[in-house]
Amino acid sequence: MLDIRPGEALAVNFSLQLHHTPDEGVDVNNPRDGLLRLVKSLSPKVTTLVEQESNTNTTPFLTRFIETFEYYLAMFESIDVALSRDRKERIDVEQHCLARDIVNIVACEGKERGERHELFGKWKSRFTMAGFRQYPLSSYLLYINK
C-alpha cells in the first residue's frame, strides 16, 4: 500500500498521534505495540516520536488529574506569554484543542478515553520491545540553526 521501492529510504514520523492508539489497558490485542512492530517490519531508516511528556495513561484517577493539571498549566502559561487573552487564535486553541483534551483525560475511562500520554521511559520501552534502537543525534545538528 505504501509502494516502497527497493533502495528507497523510508522515514516514519509519529508526531502527536501515537498516544491516540489504544494499548494493552484498552485492548488485549494491544494495537499500539502492534503498530510499532508493523512499522519496524517495514525497515525504516529513521523513526521519530514526538509526544507529550506526561503520564496520563495507566495512572489512577487522582494521579492522572494532578498530572493533567500540571501539564496543561504549563501549556496555558506558555500561551499566556505568546498571545493576549482576547486573540481569536488563542481562544480557538484553548476551546477546541486543549479543553477537549483535558475533558477526555479527566472525565473519560476505557475506550472512551483517547488521550493516553506516556512518559519517555515507557515509550522507549515500547520501541525497544518492537525492535527499534535509539541513536544519539549528530553533533552536526547542533549547528544547523546557528
State the cell numbers at 102: 483535558
Over the stretch 84-104, which tens digit does the pLDDT of each residue have? Answer: 888 999 999 899 889 999 999
Read off the pTM. Answer: 0.82
- Going by pLDDT thresholds of 50, 70 and 90, the confidence category of residue 2 is confident
- The one-letter code for the residue type at 55 is N
Rounded distance, CA 59 to CA 62, Å?
8
